[in-house]
Amino acid sequence: MIKIRFMDGLEKEYKPGVSALEIAESISPSLKKKSIAAKLNDVVIDLNRPIIDNGSLVFLIEEDKESLEVLRHSSAHLMAEAVKMLYPHAKFGVGPSIEEGFYYDIDLGEDVLTESDLPLIEKQMAKIVAKNASIERKEVSKSEALELFKEDPYKVELINALPDGEIISIYSQGVFSDLCRGPHLPSTKWIKNFKLLSLAGAYWRGDSKNKQLTRVYGTSFFTEIELKEYLINLEERKKRDHRKLGKELDLFMLSEYGPGFPFWLPNGMILRRELESFWYKVHLKEGYKLIQTPIMLNKDLWIVSGHWMNYKENMYTSEIDDMEFAIKPMNCPGGMLVYKRDIHSYKDFPLKVGELGLVHRHEASGALNGLFRVRNFTQDDAHIFMTEDMIVHEIQELVRLFDYMYSIFDLSYHIELSTRPLEKYIGEIATWDRAEKALADALNAIGKPYKVNEGDGAFYGPKLDFKLRDSMNRIWQCGTIQLDMNLPERFDLTYIDQNGEKKRPVMLHRALFGSIERFIGILIEHYAGAFPVWLSPVQIKIIPVNNEFHLSFAEKLFGKLIDEDLRAEMDSREEKLGYKIREAQTKKIPYQLVIGDKEVQENLVTYRRYGQQEQVTVKVEEFIALIKQEIAHK
């Protein structure tokens, strides 16, 4: 017999091989009816999965977060089955659940899917749901799996990559079977509220040398209300598209003469410079030394750093005086040369060196996306040199800094620990293991929860990725902290310890915004273009009611605001007042000042905040004090 412990501390005995579904039924029929999946020793499993050892068991119902992931994973398989019924020759890559839904990568051969085909697939999915098809798990050997999927090159490739002797799980429903770790729903009856959303191209296994598959995105929820709310949210996101708002608000432009190379317009330059000034001010206060390193450096440097062997396909190169050079894709090697310029003592540590460095990376043309995926961008980099026993404290200090910076923009986040890549990496595995443990220990020491992201580290070291959540509930990869014990070795970096001996420093790479360009794209959509006053390219629009009587006062007011370092514009066009007010609203200018008889006679301003109907009349000095206080407090 095996012992199963429940949430209330009660223990019961069952025969080995009993399923969670059978245990639920033994407790109560209603629990069996409500259960989606179960957690055995904190691992989510199918309800039908045989349990052969002692353990703690928790039943998952619709309200549990893990249940939504199971629903969406099963929804992906449901979509794949529908596609298989409509396109019998289709072959399938991977189909996971993701933050807001699911996707599947599909090879359709000569057929091409379009957006107009998605309703047909949805209709087929609904037919399968109506049959309440069971979802069954089977374990097979590697040889059995190869036989089952011998006609599918994608599955054969995945199976061959697995160690010999490994047990492989396969999930089947109707005419569709796939390699999958699970877990899944007991049957398709739970998948009632779903929507297929979009199509994209995706290279098999993320490698541009491989065939491009069709990626179909979708989402699903347990209730119709949740699905409708999400679809409304998607429509709002379209209105906030940073490419659309960037054009309307004169922030940036893109040109066919430079794909992936954004042009900054006057308003965008103001926004960018305010963001950079804030960054500089915070970093100087935090004790960082600021530098700037060259954009182009000799090939030999990139060989030493490991970029030439591990990143060359993403680098732009050129020849100067018969020598090969590369435009930097990262700032780190230049930072190494700055460190090597001087002899350092342990008393210098932690040595914090920051740089807003322009980098270039060759991104595939199909991946370019406004400011989110570009070919040149400014990384807000810093390299912190230290001894190994400083790691926990310095990461604690960095997390504090990240907390402050993101709170200014009302952005929350979670942390992911990304470990050694399976293939392209430098250094010894033992060094990687030490570095990964140090990051985990640092987060545990300060009580910060994190998720492990296997194999997604940089090629030179593991990292902590800060995933931001914006006002539209989207997740963005921005900040990162990378612990590097390899580059200091490759560049032979040293310091003199308290015994007068040369030692190797440890280094942290870190970026808060990730890149200025991408962060601005996120902020445009986060704020829907209505930036807080301190960031807004134009903070105040002055609108005289009648130029004959009010223009002179408006011009003097304009001059006074400019003298106070406020960003003001005046609209003295011979247009109707309502038109000018509406245009200021369209441009999302934080304050509109309407100047009429009363304002001129009593030295007043009447202001209206963007998005509000209320008008407030105050003395000019009061308004200046009010807006300057708002700017100071961000």
In this prediction, residue 400 carries a pLDDT of: 92
Asked whether the bond before 119 is cis by omega within 30 degrees of 0, the reply is no
Selecting among 307, 420, 509, 567, the annotated active-site residue is 509
Type of residue numbered 137: R
Catalytic annotation on 373?
no
Catalytic annotation on 283?
no
Report CA 378 to chain centroid distance, whole Å: 17
Q: What is the mean pLDDT of residues 10-21?
A: 89
In this prediction, residue 306 carries a pLDDT of: 87
Q: What is the mean pLDDT of residues 296-314?
A: 91
Q: What is the mean pLDDT of residues 549-577?
A: 94
| Alpha carbons 250 and 537: distance in angstroms, whole number | 10
Catalytic annotation on 242?
no
Q: Which residues contact 492 (CB under 8 A, 6 or more apart)?
A: 340
In this prediction, residue 436 carries a pLDDT of: 85
Selecting among 107, 178, 381, 571, the annotated active-site residue is 381
Q: How confident is the prediction for the chain on average, in pLDDT?
A: 92
Selecting among 215, 361, 510, 518, the annotated active-site residue is 361
Catalytic annotation on 361?
yes
Residue ranges of the chain assigned to CATH 3.40.50.800: 540-632
Q: Which CATH architecture has domain 66-238?
A: 2-Layer Sandwich (3.30)
Instruction: Indicate whether 422 pLDDT > 90.
Output: no
CB 139 within 8 A of CB 169: yes
Which CATH number applies to 246-526: 1.20.140.10, 3.30.70.100, 3.10.20.30, 3.30.930.10? Answer: 3.30.930.10
CB 512 within 8 A of CB 280: no
Q: What are the start-end ranges of the H helices in 426-546?
A: 429-445, 487-490, 516-526
Comparing 428 with 111, the larger pLDDT belongs to 111
Helix (H, G, I), strand (E, B) or coil at 280: helix
Catalytic annotation on 180?
no
Helix (H, G, I), strand (E, B) or coil at 179: strand
Q: Which residues contact 367 (CB under 8 A, 6 or more apart)?
A: 373
Catalytic annotation on 482?
no
Helix (H, G, I), strand (E, B) or coil at 416: strand
Q: Tokens representing 418?
A: 């990304």
Q: What is the mean pLDDT of residues 294-299?
A: 96
Residue ranges of the chain assigned to CATH 3.10.20.30: 2-61
Q: Which CATH architecture has domain 540-632?
A: 3-Layer(aba) Sandwich (3.40)
Instruction: Indicate whether 268 pLDDT > 90.
Output: yes
Euclidean distance between the first and final Cα of the chain, in Å?
Answer: 63
Catalytic annotation on 73?
no
Selecting among 124, 173, 379, 482, the annotated active-site residue is 379
Q: What is the pLDDT of residues 126-143, one digit of tens each?
A: 999 999 988 999 999 998
Q: What is the mean pLDDT of residues 330-344?
A: 94
Instruction: Indicate whether 105 pLDDT > 80.
Output: yes
CB 486 within 8 A of CB 429: no
| Alpha carbons 244 and 253: distance in angstroms, whole number | 10
Model confidence, pTM: 0.82
In this prediction, residue 329 carries a pLDDT of: 94
CATH 3.10.20.30 fits 2-61, yes or no: yes
Q: What is the mean pLDDT of residues 407-418?
A: 92
Q: What is the pLDDT of residues 505-533, one digit of tens each?
A: 999 999 999 999 999 999 999 999 999 99
Q: What is the mean pLDDT of residues 242-254?
A: 95
Instruction: Indicate whether 560 pLDDT > 90.
Output: yes
Band of residue 287 on the pLDDT scale cut at 50, 70, 90? very high
Band of residue 202 on the pLDDT scale cut at 50, 70, 90? confident
Helix (H, G, I), strand (E, B) or coil at 321: coil
Report CA 124 to chain centroid distance, whole Å: 33
Supply angle C-alpha 130, 133, 137, rounded to 5.
Answer: 155
Q: What is the pLDDT of residues 460-478, one digit of tens each?
A: 778 899 999 888 888 888 9
Residue ranges of the chain assigned to CATH 3.30.930.10: 246-526
Q: Tokens representing 259?
A: 């794909």
Closest CA to 72 of 193, 171, 198: 193
In this prediction, residue 1 carries a pLDDT of: 85
Instruction: Indicate whether 456 pLDDT > 80.
Output: no
Q: What is the pLDDT of residues 156-170, one digit of tens each?
A: 999 998 888 888 999
Q: What is the mean pLDDT of residues 565-585?
A: 92
Selecting among 383, 420, 567, 588, the annotated active-site residue is 383
Q: To which residue do tokens 């043309």 refer?
A: 365
Residue ranges of the chain assigned to CATH 3.30.980.10: 66-238
Would strands 55-60 and 37-40 be described as parallel, antiparallel, or unpaired?
A: antiparallel
| Alpha carbons 588 and 423: distance in angstroms, whole number | 48
Q: What is the pLDDT of residues 372-407, one digit of tens each?
A: 999 999 999 999 999 988 988 998 899 999 999 999
In this prediction, residue 184 carries a pLDDT of: 94
Selecting among 184, 463, 526, 567, the annotated active-site residue is 463
CB 91 within 8 A of CB 153: yes
Would strands 463-469 and 475-484 be described as parallel, antiparallel, or unpaired?
A: antiparallel
